[in-house]
Structure 1
Amino acid sequence: MRHRFCVRCALLGSVVFVTPLAALAQSGAEVIVLDEITLKSKRDVETQTANPVTNIDQQEIDDRQAGTIAELVDTVPGVTLVNGATPSGSGINIRGFGANGTYGTDQMVMIQVDGATQGSEELYRLGTQLYTDPSLYKTVSVSRGTVGSFEYGSGVVGGIVRLETKDASDFTGGVSGYKLRQTLEAASNGDGLTSSTILAWQPNDDLEILGQYVFRKMDEQTDGAGEDVGAEPFKLPSYMLKAKYTFGAARDQSVTLSYNDTQTSENDVPYDQFGLGGSSFGNVDRDVRTRTTVLEYEYDPSNPLIHIEANLSHADQKIDSTYIEGTSPYGPAAGSLGDADHRYETTKLTVKNTSRFQTGSAEHDLRLGAEIIRKKRAEAVSAPGGTDRRFALFAVDDITWGGFTISPAMRYETQKLRRQSDASGSNPQTEYDNDAIMGGISARYEWSNGFSAFASAAYTENLPILDDFDKDSFMNQSQKARVYEIGAAYDAVDVFSGGDTLSLKANLYQSDIWDVTSYSGVAEVEMRGLELEASYSVASGYYADMNATISKGDALGINGEETHWGNAPADSLYLTLGKRWGEKLDLSWEMLANARMDRVDRTNRETPGIGVHNLRATYRPQAGVLEGSEFRVGVENIFDKEYRPHLATRNGAGRNVKLTVAKTF
């Protein structure tokens, strides 16, 4: 295996940065500064941290008109979708890890909803199991790599997707009273229809209550050639209830309780949601229900040494399927797989305290916490059942001294795996105990001129999982990984013209994994790449957002054979150019380009380069009878191109016109 950074990636990345900046500099004299100043692009670049993180706010969530959680994050550097247009048969790949064509996860990408872990089971050909609606959420944070993961879990190599649900005060503005928000959306490709109804009530300053119901449906979609893309029609009703109560003499304590529920039924659909097995596995009737309950307590007094947060969550997903006789040539063998019912529940308690203090001239932001996790899964064909109990301690300290910020982090985790014997007694009860110490450190220095440089190193372990009960050699062996990163950022105003703003961030990374348990026949994996992010806006309202990813992966088999890493994504470039007229109107053009991908192994195929273009418009009347209304029009794949992104098992959808109307009363 080779252990070196890709110099070609760095050189290509510098060209991507320098070329557009030179062009902007030459045209700077032509920029006209208007009285109304708008300093905002579509998405902020997080230049103030060494962690490679991207945050998507409520405005971008609304403007993207996404139909799934996956479609919310597909423009984040390092993120590639395995399908993504439907909640079934889709998955999220980050830096070459996560979803693949066999399972929806490899345990190296974590997904959390209000702190509850979701969609993390290796169920054969069933995708990520992330059945929830994007309309329920107000922010999405994607943290890539390992260094920022120790507060949230172990074994994270690709990254973490963290979603936060809406609050009543987001609509009431913290003022007593009611607010009603109704959103309707229609999509031309697949005759999609979505309705979201939100009722926010704040009876007083201390109590706020929110209820939301979303109904989303989609029929069969077609690709650019007019052919069915192979994704099954779906109906996805979801609802959420959330209440927050603030109390204490200084109103420094709060309790928040939330519950969200999503369910869907599919009749006479292929068992294989990825569509790779043809009719081999037959068809099933499938019912899926996902429920998440979260209870949060926060105590934030005036004492800087105390800020306590406690989060108790319960995530429960049930997948019931019934095999349809005669639909598979393999008969009873396919029937036993198709009739398998899955249920898995994860209960987690996280308690954390944040202390802010000084030692000499250094300022500390110290987070200390403990976590108790209990995962329970029912026994099913291809999915061993049992319990996975864990206890973890973690500490992260952001130490600021002058222009330096140094952040050491550590996590210690213990595990007790237990498999219950099944009804036939063929699987005797077994137990395994494991533990691991993980940690990392990042360092960042910021100069007064807006430049900063950073580097990090992290080590993590994937402890054995319930899915591997049938592989004795894996049950006392953890999967290990090291991730190194180095990069630079720049953030300044008045760069090329008065009132403009420019943000840039470049990040080189290398991920080394050994003692591999997530993939059969693989001993080591190495991924390395370059991620670029940039945003630029001028006072007249014009803006540009760009991100790019260049990566390469290698794998070493247990037989000593070295090959390309089959889950490595294609090199990609995402570009948005737009113009804002205050808060009233926003027009933008988007382009997603993937380079030709020929660095493949025998498990996947080469894909040609692609370029897909979208147009988006948002109109918010600021006065008159339509004040408080929002109108959005999106035209995705405007040239109706036939294409299949690398790693996807289905073609992308053809031209799709989306119309959204929203009103807050």
Structure 2
Amino acid sequence: MLKTLTRRAALVASTALVSAHTAQAQDNAIAFDDSAYLGELVLGESKREVATETAIPTTIIDAAEIQDRQAGTIAELIDSVPGVNLVNGSTAAGSGINIRGFGANSTFGTDQKVLIQVDGATKGSEELYRIGSQLYTDPHLYREIEVLRGTIGSFEFGSGVFGGVVRLESINASDLTQGEIGTRVRQTLQASSNGNGLVSSTTVAWQPTKNAEFLANYTYRKLDVREDGDGNEINPDGGDIGDPSWLVKGRFTFGEALDQSLTLSYSETNQQSDDVPYDTFGTADFGNVDREISNNVATAQYNWNPADKSWLNLTAELTYSDEEVISQAIDRTASAGTLALLDADNRYQTTTLRLKNEALFNTGLLDHTLRTGVEWIKRERQDATAGSAPGGEKDVFAIYAVDAVQIGDAWTVTPAVRYESQTITPDAATGLAGQEFDADALMGGLALRYAFANGIAVFGSASYTENLPIIDDLFSTDLINQSEKGTTYEIGVSYEGDSIFNDGDTLALKLNYYDQSLRDLTTYRSFTPGNSIVNVDRQGYELEASYSMASGIYVDFNGHISDGTSTTEGGTVADWRQNPADNLRLTLGKKINKSVDLSWELEAAKRYDRDATDISPGYGVHNIRATFLPQQGVFEGTEVRVSLENVFDKQYTPRLSTRAATGRNLTVAVSKVF
């Protein structure tokens, strides 16, 4: 219950437009999250909380759930969030994240409409052809993942967010040391049957004083080719994947009142696959390549949060992201055009300087939580071999303000505004040397929430955003001068209460309806004149619910129902080709005591057949999980997690994917804190 109350307090303090984690004022004393590191289960809690105290559709996956799911990729971890779907989640390099019908597709790993941040550093590629997700990193490096769906809630993080925002926060040393002076080591070994996967993750946390902490993590992940429910190899030419990742992080607290802090971190993930198809989606045969992928993130954050100045909580962040995909063709006899594609080396370097402040003040009966910020972003894209992808530099300046205004105990009114201006300078190889392309946009939104005294709340929001041109648009003088525009309207209701059916039980529900309209689209181009998609309209419902009893029984449920249409330049209206299937996920579990947690999960999707040429059969997949946390004896401090996914070895291909899903997979993980 303490965890629930803490989360509620954080959400109440947040705005209706940004996440509880981001909005919470930073405490410069070293803080830690004990949700997954105490070595015991908490009765009366489900696996995931429902964010009922905020108007935005947000879901937080905490450290306990990250460990519980034993996912191989971040994409596999967040697909349990309503509105989130994977494109080829069974393949690491090919998997992509799609939120509310936007994001990854079978042509590009991203359509620039889903924003990803790792420790504040913005990730993601331009439009890499036939290469999947650009989120190459390992789940073992992170303590919390937050998914914000839709536009409302995105203005503090970027522009052009039609699908949503995925934010990852890396683990801290104090998660293991619990704020106590000393050294702790956490070792995890994991094995999976499908693909003969092996994982070793070692974390060393050292806290020499109360005001300093240091952490180092090294994770190595190995995975061979997986099989689907019929026993067929999902990507037979994919070979095995060796995926080392590591993280170093330090945090210092200083000042006369210990009201200042400095956090430094660096993480790196590498992935190498030899003699694999260039097309990670398996939809076309361009030939095979040796491919090496690296993903590096460096961050430095300074915070000053004096206790006697409620109007001052200043943070300065400097982040650097370096993403590189190096490919080399195996068959050197291919045509010059094919070799240019297969040999293309793509590199993205993004440097961001961000200054932001959170001010708490009141004006009469109005209590304000005002967050303001300014950003300078430099993004450099290497010109790929033979010009298969244009190179250049994008310089961005942005300023934003989000003010959560609390009126009494019932009303929360939150306006938000963001202004962004950019300049794209092409590389000489593009043939546009000496030219510059400027664009700017003013965007924003408004959220309203009214809370009744009985635990029911109603909320709604309206937002407008623009997706400014990207470096990839340099190949067209029309596209480089056109921004994509979109509006989103949402309305919903939530409820949270205690002792509903039995003493000590807790029920939380949140239902949200959204209506999105995108115009002047440039991403979905066609080689056939008049067939390029320029407008997309989508509507959908998202439901999240959790119920837990003091006896340890719990239920988690979420579902997503949506529909959408697209319109071409020629005026043809059709089902939006990235419409996800209606789906739900239900978990029933029982925490027998502080040591044992048993759960069953159903993942189901409805048949999609609105278009006779685009049919995706429905399916239902069962997963079971067990967690054992011995509380005494020689195994005290040891964690054993066992999961059996796709229990009945179901053969199915999820909607939006081009490859079949993974068949039955038994995973066993053993962790020990020393």
Return the TM-score normalized by structure 2. 0.91
The answer to whether the Cα contact below 8 Å between 2:89 and 2:661 also exists between their aligned partners in 1 is no
What does residue 202 of structure 1 align with?
207
Match of residue 597, structure 1, among 593, 608, 611: 608
What does residue 23 of structure 1 align with?
none
Could you tell me which runs of 5 or more consecutive residues in structure 2 were left unpaired when the two chains were aligned. 1-40, 526-531
What does residue 248 of structure 1 align with?
255
Secondary structure class of the residue paired with 1:661: strand
1:115-134 correspondence runs (5 A):
115-134=120-139
Match of residue 620, structure 1, among 620, 629, 645: 629
Give, in whole Å, the separation in 2 of the partners of 1:172 and 1:108. Answer: 38
Give, in whole Å, the separation in 2 of the partners of 1:582 and 1:45. Answer: 23
Q: Does 1:536 align with 2:540?
A: no
The answer to whether the Cα contact below 8 Å between 2:390 and 2:427 also exists between their aligned partners in 1 is no
What does residue 291 of structure 1 align with?
296
Q: Does 1:404 align with 2:415?
A: no
What does residue 139 of structure 1 align with?
144
What does residue 29 of structure 1 align with?
none
Match of residue 261, structure 1, among 265, 268, 292: 268
What does residue 524 of structure 1 align with?
535
The answer to whether the Cα contact below 8 Å between 2:640 and 2:668 also exists between their aligned partners in 1 is yes
Deviations along 1:43-93, one digit per CA (max 9) or x if unpaired, are: 000000000000000000000010000011001000000012332011000
1:37–1:654 CA distance, 2 compared to 1 (3 A): closer
Cα deviation for residue 190 of structure 1 reads 0.3
The answer to whether the Cα contact below 8 Å between 2:355 and 2:374 also exists between their aligned partners in 1 is yes
The answer to whether the Cα contact below 8 Å between 2:267 and 2:297 also exists between their aligned partners in 1 is yes
Deviations along 1:113-141, one digit per CA (max 9) or x if unpaired, are: 00101123210011122111010001000
Cα deviation for residue 581 of structure 1 reads 2.4
What does residue 670 of structure 2 align with?
661
Cα deviation for residue 600 of structure 1 reads 4.2
Give, in whole Å, the separation in 2 of the partners of 1:161 and 1:187. Answer: 27
Which letter does structure 2 place at the counterpart of 1:244? R
Give, in whole Å, the separation in 1 of the partners of 2:631 and 2:90. Answer: 33
Give, in whole Å, the separation in 2 of the partners of 1:288 and 1:61. Answer: 24
The answer to whether the Cα contact below 8 Å between 2:42 and 2:594 also exists between their aligned partners in 1 is no
Q: Does 1:364 align with 2:382?
A: no
Match of residue 301, structure 1, among 284, 299, 306: 306
Cα deviation for residue 288 of structure 1 reads 1.2
Q: Structure 1 stretches (4+) deviating beyond 6 angstroms? A: none
1:433-512 correspondence runs (5 A):
433-512=438-517
Cα deviation for residue 325 of structure 1 reads 1.5
1:304-383 correspondence runs (5 A):
304-325=310-331, 331-380=335-384, 381-383=387-389
Which letter does structure 1 place at the counterpart of 2:242? K
Cα deviation for residue 452 of structure 1 reads 0.2
1:50-199 correspondence runs (5 A):
50-199=55-204
Give, in whole Å, the separation in 2 of the partners of 1:473 and 1:61. Answer: 44
Cα deviation for residue 539 of structure 1 reads 1.2
Give, in whole Å, the separation in 2 of the partners of 1:150 and 1:167. Answer: 27
Give, in whole Å, the separation in 1 of the partners of 2:592 and 2:253. Answer: 38
1:502-651 correspondence runs (5 A):
502-520=507-525, 521-600=532-611, 605-651=614-660
Secondary structure class of the residue paired with 1:180: strand
Match of residue 52, structure 2, among 41, 47, 63: 47
Q: Percent identity?
A: 51
Return the TM-score normalized by structure 1. 0.92
Give, in whole Å, the separation in 2 of the partners of 1:80 and 1:255. Answer: 36
Give, in whole Å, the separation in 2 of the partners of 1:96 and 1:420. Answer: 33
Secondary structure class of the residue paired with 2:55: coil
Cα deviation for residue 207 of structure 1 reads 1.1
Which letter does structure 2 place at the counterpart of 1:348? T
Count matched residues. Answer: 622
Cα deviation for residue 601 of structure 1 reads 8.2
The answer to whether the Cα contact below 8 Å between 1:202 and 1:208 also exists between their aligned partners in 2 is yes
Could you tell me which runs of 5 or more consecutive residues in structure 1 were left unpaired when the two chains were aligned. 1-35
Cα deviation for residue 161 of structure 1 reads 0.4
Cα deviation for residue 427 of structure 1 reads 4.5
> What is the Cα-based RMSD across aligned positions, in Å?
1.3
Give, in whole Å, the separation in 1 of the partners of 2:658 and 2:314. Answer: 45
